[in-house]
Amino acid sequence: NAGVTQTPKFQVLKTGQSMTLQCAQDMNHNSMYWYRQDPGMGLRLIYYSASEGTTDKGEVPNGYNVSRLNKREFSLRLESAAPSQTSVYFCASSEGTGGATNSPLHFGNGTRLTVT
């Protein structure tokens, strides 16, 4: 059982380049999330999808777009990368369909992105 799978594991971009981070889960979870982790700042929510066909902004959505392709897959796109987007990106999923769910999150192993 793979859980949450993220690709790629590492990526280096030049300022202005674009890329898509891929995420897939095999747990039949309804909700999926994208977080970024920066030193001393914990995890910050970029976008989430409470169910297939819906997406909503989190705390730090600027510079990102997302697509909930189907129930399994949730991708994050950087249209024009900036050095401020250098970070570790985590995808997560949970059983809840949004709202005040108490379902824990299941995380992938992250994508380490450097923008020069």
Partner 1 sequence: AQSVAQPEDQVNVAEGNPLTVKCTYSVSGNPYLFWYVQYPNRGLQFLLKYITGDNLVKGSYGFEAEFNKSQTSFHLKKPSALVSDSALYFCAVRDRVNTGTASKLTFGTGTRLQVTL
The nearest distance, CB 9 to partner 1, in angstroms, is 9
Question: Does the protein bind partner 1 through residue 61 (CB under 8 A)?
Answer: no
Instruction: Count Cβ atoms within 10 A of the Cβ of residue 63 and give its class: 0-12 exposed, 13-18 middle, 19 or more buried.
Output: middle
- Residues 66, 49: Cα–Cα separation, whole Å: 9
Q: Which helix H or strand E contains 92, and what residues bound it?
A: strand 87-94
Q: Are 108 and 91 in contact (CB under 8 A)?
A: yes
Judged by CB under 8 A, the number of residues near partner 1 is 30
Which of 13, 24, 31, 115 lies at the binding interface for partner 1 (CB under 8 A)? 31
Match 């990526």 to its residue by tokens: 11
Q: Which is nearer to partner 1, 26 or 59 (CB)?
A: 59
DSSP string, 13-36: E-TT--EEEEEEESS--SEEEEEE
Q: Which is nearer to partner 1, 15 or 54 (CB)?
A: 54
Which of 2, 14, 42, 53 lies at the binding interface for partner 1 (CB under 8 A)? 42
The nearest distance, CB 71 to partner 1, in angstroms, is 16
What is the binding site for partner 1 (CB under 8 A)? Answer: 4, 31, 33, 40-45, 48, 50, 56, 58-59, 90, 92, 94, 96, 98-102, 104-110
